Chains A and B, each alone.
Chain A
Amino acid sequence: MRGLSVFLTVALTSAFAVSAHAETRSVSWQGQAIEASIAEPTRDLGPSREELMKMAHDAKPALPTRAFPGPSQTPK
């Protein structure tokens, strides 16, 4: 019984872990190499508008991880 419980816990955890990640693709399209990330089509509405606006307010500006030679890069 305990073994079954552990199995179910692992299985369910794995299922949620997989569904929480978007799928990524590397394709050749019209001769061009393209990489993509696809969201889950069945996801729910997510946070409320108020929650999203709060998140946007608190968001930090994005930085390219490497942009310029030397230590003096200024991410945009």
Chain B
Amino acid sequence: MSIYRWLVGLAVAVAMSTVAAAEDNPQPLIAGNPAVAPLKWVGLLMFQNAKNETFSCTAQFIAPRVLLTAAHCVQDNQTGEWYDTNKMYFFLQYQNDNASDIYKVICTGHLAGYAPKIAANATDDQKEQAFEDAMQYDYAMILVNHDSITGHMKVDTEWLGKHPAAVQIGYPGAIEGGMIVQRDPGVLALSLSRPNEVILMHANPNMTQGTSGGAWIANFTNGEAQGNNVIVGVTSFGNPSWPGITFGPYFRQDTYGSLFDYVSKGCPK
């Protein structure tokens, strides 16, 4: 058993100990209602790679013109390929081949930590470690061409000790063919392996492909009062050794705030 696996196991144990303190009532995976908060701020992000293959992720508005998603939905950090922003579209309130509005992309950005600079003489182990560490920066922001017609969600940074639970959302291809946004409640914990990585323990192992970039929402409720529906993470990756556990980046105020400011201003030179 690797030290990494041991540490994740310990993190899971810590998370389990906080189940009783979870804010959300335990619920099975359930189709969400994109007509009301918070899912009315969520949608499907579509993009193409250089081979003209089309992919989807989940994204959500965090400001009138700014989306939050996973960094691997805008760039392949192994090859360095940026997915073409001219062929990237956001479908707000996507459901069953329909959407309330479609947005084009002005620019997208992520922290440089997501795309590590690997030395030419690095060993395979060093490369592996660099790319594993990069996943703790797996979030990106996207400036779109016009304002959200439904509003946007709030984001909380450095929230440890404040939010014990969250609801993972997204369009998993394994459920309803990815046509309907799903929600899945879980318990939050800090990964002990990396300082900017958190985990969400939830119920459904099918909450996988297509949920990339989907928000982890604390205080999930249809009500829009202050303090409700706060984003505390986005879906990055998982592992079949721990089905029902999802990993995501932990937002630090300084880095998150700078990225938001930069993208909001149109990604200037």
Contact = CB atoms under 8 A, between A and B. Distances in A.
Contact of A39 (B106, B114, B209): B106
Q: Which of A22, A31, A43, A59 has the most CB of B within 10 A?
A: A59
Nearest to A40: B86
B258 A34 contact: yes
Contacts of A53: 91, 97-99
Contacts of A31: 254, 258
Contacts of B78: 65-66
B107 A37 contact: yes
Contacts of B135: 64, 67
Given A37-B85, A38-B106, A57-B97, A27 B269 contact: yes
A73 B109 contact: no
Contacts of A27: 262, 268-269
A56 B94 contact: yes
Given A20-B86, A52-B102, A61-B210, A34 B112 contact: yes
A55 interface: yes
B104 interface: yes
Given A29-B258, A66-B131, A76-B246, A22 B82 contact: yes
B72 A62 contact: yes
Given A59-B46, A66-B131, A74 B54 contact: no
Interface of A: 20-22, 24-27, 29-41, 43, 46, 49, 52-53, 55-69, 72-76
Interface in B128-183: 128, 131-132, 135, 138, 170-173, 178-179
B132 A68 contact: yes
Contacts of B113: 33
Interface stretch (B27-35, B224-232, B237-245): B237-245
B6 interface: no
B86 A61 contact: no
A64 to B, nearest CB: 4
A36 B86 contact: no
A29 B237 contact: no
Contacts, number: 202
Contact of B86 (A22, A30, A58, A73): A22
A27 to B, nearest CB: 7
B258 A21 contact: no
A32 B239 contact: no
B212 interface: yes
A76 B86 contact: no
A29 B86 contact: no
A49 B209 contact: no
B174 to A, nearest CB: 9
A76 B241 CA distance: 14
A61 B259 contact: no
B269 A25 contact: yes
B217 to A, nearest CB: 16
B232 to A, nearest CB: 17
Given A56-B94, A74-B237, A39 B208 contact: no
10 contacts: A27-B268, A29-B259, A39-B88, A52-B89, A57-B97, A59-B44, A61-B212, A75-B209, A76-B235, A76-B246
Most chain B Cβ neighbours within 10 Å, of A24, A64, A69: A64
